[in-house]
Amino acid sequence: MDAWLNEVQKHPALYVLCCSVIFRILHRFLQTVPSPGTVEADTWRTWKWRNLSVSLVHSMLTGIWAVACVIQHPVMVHEIHSTYTPSAYMLVVVSSGYFIQDAADIIFSGYAKASWEFLLHHVMVIWCFLYAVFTHHYVAGAVVALFVEVNSVFLHTRLLLKLAKVAQNSFIYTVNKLFNVVTYVTFRLGAQFYLTWYLIHHYSSLDHALYFLITMMLMNIMILIYFYRLLRTDFFSKGRSQNSGRKFAED
């Protein structure tokens, strides 16, 4: 395992690029998989369905992986700056590849303007993750940050259901929205706020703490706004119709 880790750490850019290519191949493969008729009728909906499907695969993979890493080596939660395992390092490499691929997909598909919130999020994640990959610092912090992907499984499923025009009062949508709000509070808000607290509490002893703290504060603002939108749409909509706009970060 150590020899394998050393090989990856010698050529981190190559392995990140390989992971990006793998996720791109997955995106291409999903183009051959049939999608709902409501999706195929519109070019933008078709692209968004494929994009979210890749994101769902990434979330299912990395969310479970991140939790497993912390269970295997719990000290990472308390030493996010310097402690990590080979599995944790590879997780950050894989996830970096995904975010680079997804950002490129949004840009080159022509939906960057409508997806600026997601692009801003991806840029912040990419710079933090690549810093961890190349410096070997904050790898554990990146793993804790990937706890949010547990919630992303339900967030992406929610948007896929909306694209397929599944009724909001249907059983599957109701069950998903309940899991979504619970995991949003526990895994997304919990992980983000813990990392923010850690940076503030250990500010004087951490490298580049200011840059990471600014990044975390921006992300906190974004996820709180999105949480408000989520609650408003799924729990206080009062019969509002499905949002048909082309804004990627829709309600």
Q: What is the pLDDT of residues 99-152, one digit of tens each?
A: 999 999 999 988 888 788 889 999 999 999 999 999 999 999 999 999 999 999
Please report the pLDDT score of residue 54 as a whole number: 96
Q: Which pLDDT band, with edges at 50, 70 and 90, does 248 fall under?
A: very low
Residue 219 has pLDDT above 80, yes or no: yes
Stretch 156-162: mean pLDDT, rounded?
95
Residue 247 has pLDDT above 50, yes or no: no
Stretch 150-166: mean pLDDT, rounded?
95
Q: Which pLDDT band, with edges at 50, 70 and 90, does 238 fall under?
A: low
**Cα separation values, 164 from 9, 63, 157, Å:** 42, 24, 10
Q: Which pLDDT band, with edges at 50, 70 and 90, does 232 fall under?
A: very high
Please report the pLDDT score of residue 244 as a whole number: 45
Q: Which residue has the higher pLDDT, 244 or 142?
A: 142
Residue 249 has pLDDT above 50, yes or no: no
Please report the pLDDT score of residue 37 as a whole number: 83
Report the C-alpha gap between 216 and 148 in whole angstroms. Answer: 13
B/e letters for 227-250, b = 16+ CB within 10 Å, e = fewer, are eeebeebbeeeeeeeeeeeeebbb
Amino acid at 94: V
Please report the pLDDT score of residue 211 as a whole number: 93
CB 143 within 8 A of CB 220: no
- In the structure encoding, which two tokens stand for residue 216, read together? 């975390």
Cβ count within 10 A of residue 170: 11
Residue 251 has pLDDT above 60, yes or no: no
Q: Which residue has the higher pLDDT, 61 or 7?
A: 61
Residue 28 has pLDDT above 70, yes or no: yes
**pTM for the full predicted model:** 0.91
Q: Lowest-confidence range among 24-28, 108-112, 173-177, 188-192?
A: 108-112
